[in-house]
Amino acid sequence: MKPLLLTNEYPPHIYGGAGIHVQYLARELAKLCEVEVRCFGDQSAPGDNPSVSGFSTDASAYTAPKPLHSVFAALQRCLDFNTRAIDADVVHLHTWYSHFGGILAKLNYGLPLVLTVHSLEPLRPWKREQLGGGYDFTVWLEKTAIEMADAVVAVSGGTKEDILRLFDVPSEKVHVIHNGIDPDEYQPTFDEAVLEKHGIDPAAPYVLFVGRITRQKGIVHLVNAVRHLDPGTQVVLCAGAPDTPEIKAEMESAVAAARAGHEGRLVWIQEMIPADEKIVLYSHARVFCTPSIYEPFGIINLEAMACETPVVASQVGGMKEIIVPGETGLLVPLEQQAESPFEAVHPETYARDLAAGINELMRDPERCVAMGRAGRARVLERFSWAEIARETLALYGKVVG
């Protein structure tokens, strides 16, 4: 069995959960079979397992509107994925960036097609801010790829429900295989020098956020919640890679207002920090917060839990399957009055509810310690990349057979 994984993100160019998923899935699959990865970038490891080839493209001559450049560049790379001969038994797609490449491989090379859903375009309408009319194209492309796939992997039970609701796909074609974590890499690790390097006060307990600046991640809601936190609460935002200049400006304005209205340190780390430093930040935090308004799974929650940090998260998507309320963290409900999660949030109510959950745990350090230990135990029991790779390989066998 030889799978070909098509993806936008792959180390060292990773900015989100899908990239982390492909990184560890490829590593564990390579212990079981030969694996090839074709990705966006300049990566090159042709003789290794997994073998890796990065594909770049020059968009400097594009005269199309700027929001469309990333769409057309993705299509060009997907074409290039296929002009290099493919000798795999199955092609496995990750995010819409790779979907056109998989469609070409299925039709031209006759390969079975497996597609992992990390998020769904119809549930991310704010992407229009980033892609303009290209958003309508990505919605169509995703629908086409999902409905012609031989098997669809949902990263949570909630994601499977969304797929069946939004697309014409038989239930038996949709398989739930969760994301995972490497507990040997993500484990409690303490180093006050890392905190001081980033301007964090080691003596003051803090609540931590890690993620991209995007509507989906709900980061602005968390920043707006800061004014409702107990005085003296330290807040650390490890948040970069804004989707658009507009949300970057909105974030800057919200952070300035939060700093002015909060009696406590607010640290904003805008660069993407190395994994070893991120693990230290998780480990020292008293509470981790995931304020996402749409989150099919949420690997960052596993990362925090593996570092024995309790999580306060929105009660959406896969996070309902990761966090056990009252045992490993708290879940904050969203107002679900609309089909789109973007329309379902009442900003002021949500900010207050987030703050209430964070305050509840920050006030009780002994409870946080107990929750942290329970969280790591849950990660070790339920979310192993080795098991996920075995399940994925078994699925390849079904679609090839």
Residues 4-51 have pLDDT tens digits of: 999 999 999 988 889 999 999 999 999 999 999 999 999 999 999 999
- Co-location of 222 and 157 in the same domain: no
Q: Does residue 388 share a domain with residue 249?
A: no
- Both structure tokens of 129: 């801010």
Residue type at position 395 = L
Cβ-based burial of 30 (10 A; exposed 0-12, middle 13-18, buried ≥19): middle
Asked whether residue 187 is assigned to any structural domain, the reply reads no
Residue 340 lies in a domain: yes
Closest CA to 176 of 151, 193, 200: 151
Tokens of 195: 């905190």
The residue-averaged pLDDT of 388-394 equals 96
Phi, psi dihedral angles at 234 (to 5 degrees): -85, 135
Q: Are residues 99 and 71 both part of a single domain?
A: yes
First to last CA, the chain: 11
Residue percentage of the chain with pLDDT more than 90: 85
Is 152 among the domain residues? yes
Say if residue 157 is in the same domain as residue 251. no
b/e per residue, 117-137, with b = 16+ CB within 10 A?
bbbbbebbbbbebbbbebbeb
Crossing angle of helices 299-306 and 365-382, rounded to 10°: 120
> What CATH number does the domain containing 267 carry?
3.40.50.2000
Global confidence as pTM: 0.84
200 in the same domain as 153: no
Is 186 within the bounds of a domain?
Answer: no
Do 149 and 223 lie in one domain? The reply is no
Domain count for the chain: 2
Q: Show the domain range for 306.
A: 192-382
pLDDT tens sequence across 234-257: 999 999 988 888 889 999 999 999
Give yes or no: residues 251 and 219 share one domain. Answer: yes
**230: DSSP letter:** P
pLDDT category of residue 337 using cuts at 50, 70 and 90: very low
Report whether pLDDT(345) > 80.
no
Q: How far apart are CA 363 and CA 358, in angstroms?
A: 9
The Cα–Cα gap between 154 and 160 comes to 5
Q: Is 338 found in the same domain as 196?
A: yes
